[in-house]
Chain A
Amino acid sequence: MRSIPFYPLLIVLLVGSGSYLGCDPNQLSAPLSVDPAASKTSKPEATNPRDTIPARTPTNILIGSFNLQRLGPSKISDSWVTERFADIIRKFDVIALQEITSKDQRILPALISRVNSLGNKYNFTIGPQVGRASSGYFEQYAFVYDETRILSGPGYCYPVLDEKDILHREPFVGRFQSISPVGNPFQFTLINMHTDPDEINTELDVLADVYRNVRQYEYPNEDDVLLVGDLNAPHDKLRSLNKILDFVPLIRDLPTNVRKSKMLDNILIDRLLTTEFTGRCGTIDLQNMFRIELVDALKISDHLPIWAEFSIIEQPRLNVGVAGQNQNPTLR
């Protein structure tokens, strides 16, 4: 049998594969070379105060949620988009992320490196891949938090077990505690969820059970359990979630998609227990924040980030007395 020379074949293969990869338009995504702010003649003005997020101060913490719309290799390789993601994350103390769809587990660390490139100290906890093979893809949830103001970590986060396979994407739960030099630090639990619009009724009903179960699981150490994420439903169409006594959606009558046509995302709290909520919440209008046109805002995501402001220290409950007096800055 005739032997095939190794080196000529290797050269041919390298040249062949190189030209293939180099010519694939899907693999190449050049960053925008023009600053969108410079190309605009008139700057959109913020007209609704709920479209802009307040600054982080020593007395508040900002909790948010953002559907990144398919965070994968092409988005992360677009430095313009990544920089906008980083700018958004830096507005928050804790932000729940949805739709990290890349199998490559270096994607989120790469984004957090960009966030920290200005000297910040953000960290993250990412959930397992969730979804069904029949949908053609899987996604991951994540919590990103500012380590200088929030305590958390992988040991304080867990996916909800769904042994009966009712939910398309099982929620990811995280426990957090503010770092405050004075007073009792605010401790809270976030349930991060992305519902399936095709099974929305079932999912919202089951989500009410998930909320009750997580509360029961976390209680008595934790009474501030917040449900955040892309619920694919407006605030008054949350079915069983709307029926839980005193459990209220904070984002009302405010579109949460970039096109300003749908209410999809929300933050729900128990209004009697989570008295740390300052009353301020809303969306971040990407067009206003970055002074960009709709077409560029859609390159970031089809969703707007949503936010709510809370006190950095525990506040007394409205009807059941005062929260615990634990001053220890470690998580219980």
Chain B
Amino acid sequence: MSDWLDASHRSCLAIPMVWRQVTDSLGEYLRFYIAWKMVEGCMSTVVGNTLPLAKLKQYAGTPELARQSAVALVLSLHDSDDEVRAWAAEVLENMGAPTMDCTAQLAELTRHVIAPVAAWACKLIGRLGEEGTRFQDILAAAVEKHVDVLVKQEAVAALAKLGNLSPSTRDILRRAAIHENPRLKRMALAALAD
């Protein structure tokens, strides 16, 4: 009899205990979710928002619109989705030079820690040709200071397209021309020869 009472008593107590564990778990999950969203929000503020795939496909067919969104396109290269990155690169490859109102932000992005973002920012400035000559110090800084050799390469390639390089920029190119990376070395020599 006492065993039966004990078992019944335990089962009555067990239901609220399970329920409490469930609500505690949900609470913890929600706290974690809110914290994650805050981190995500901060991250997007730092690195910028990426464009959705549908928008990128639209831009692939409308280079004139894409040129105005060069900054958002470049930032899309840090998206976690491979396909978003591939389509962002597709648009960037085919859109030509960016509009001049994007150039200040692109110049900022040449310092970006994510290599494809910084590399494409350099490449787009290079497409400005002579109009981009005023950004040569920015590109020269990317050659000298960016930690990723792929960004250095694109910055050198961009400088080669600008022309009218200053003596200080040419000095930086001369230093790049003795870099251990063969592609950087070759591109720097080509830029100096132009």
Q: Mark B60-100, 1 if CB is under 8 A from A, else 0.
A: 11000000000000000100011111111110011000000
State whether the Cβ of A88 lies closer than 8 Å to any Cβ in chain B.
no
Residue A220, interface by CB 8 Å: no
Cβ B86 vs Cβ A70 within 8 A: yes
Within A1-21, the residues touching B (CB, 8 Å) are: 2, 4-5, 8-9, 12-13, 16
Q: Are B53 and A74 in contact (CB under 8 A)?
A: yes
By beta carbon, the residue of chain A nearest B79 is A136
Q: A4-B28, A69-B90, A70-B86 are in contact. Are A134 and B119 (CB under 8 A)?
A: yes
The smallest C-beta distance from A90 to any residue of chain B, in angstroms, reads 26
In chain B, residues 89-134, which have Cβ atoms closer than 8 Å to a Cβ of chain A? Answer: 89-90, 93-94, 115-116, 119-120, 123, 126-127
| Interface-central residue, B18, B29, B153, by most chain A CB under 10 Å | B29
Instruction: Tell me which of B21, B60, B119, B182 contacts A135 (CB under 8 A).
Output: B119
B-side interface mostly: helix
- Which residues in A have their C-beta under 8 angstroms from that of B123? 198
With an 8 Å Cβ cutoff, the count of chain B residues facing the other chain is 43
B178 at the binding interface (Cβ < 8 Å): no
Instruction: Tell me whether B115 and A101 are in contact (CB under 8 A).
Output: no
A137 to B120, CA, bound (A): 12
In the bound complex, how far is the Cα of B88 from the Cα of A123, in angstroms?
Answer: 31
Contact residues in B for A74 (Cβ distance below 8 Å): 53, 83
Q: In this assembly, does A212 line the interface, its C-beta being within 8 Å of a C-beta of chain B?
A: no
A12-B25, A133-B150, A136-B88 known; A72+B82 contact, CB < 8 A: yes
Question: Complex Cα distance A103/B81, Å?
Answer: 11
**Which residues of A from 109 to 148 have beta carbons under 8 Å from B?**
132-137, 139
B191 — which chain A residues lie within 8 A by C-beta? none
Which B residues touch A136, using CB under 8 A?
Answer: 77, 85-86, 88-89, 116, 120
Total count of chain A residues near the partner, CB < 8 A: 34
Closest CB in chain A relative to B43 CB, distance in Å = 17
A12, B29: Cβ atoms under 8 Å?
Answer: yes
Contact, CB under 8 Å: B61 / A137: no
**Interchain nearest-CB distance for A100 vs B (Å):** 10
A155 at interface, CB cutoff 8 A? no
Supposing A4-B28, A134-B115, A197-B94 touch, asked if A164 and B54 sit within 8 A by C-beta, the answer is no
> Which residues of chain A from 70 to 108 have any CB-CB distance to chain B below 8 Å in the complex?
70, 72-74, 101-103
Q: Using A4-B28, A101-B83, A197-B94 as known contacts, list a sample of 19 further A-B pairs with CB atoms less than 8 Å apart, ordered by residue number in A.
A: A4-B24, A9-B25, A12-B29, A26-B81, A69-B60, A69-B90, A70-B87, A102-B82, A102-B83, A133-B150, A134-B119, A134-B153, A136-B86, A136-B120, A137-B82, A137-B86, A164-B182, A165-B182, A302-B61
Q: Which B residues form the contact surface with A (CB < 8 A)? A: 18, 21-22, 24-26, 28-29, 33, 52-54, 60-61, 77, 81-90, 93-94, 115-116, 119-120, 123, 126-127, 148, 150-151, 153-154, 157, 182-183, 186
Across the A-B interface, the 8 shortest Cβ-Cβ residue pairs = A134-B150, A134-B119, A136-B116, A137-B86, A26-B53, A136-B77, A101-B86, A136-B89
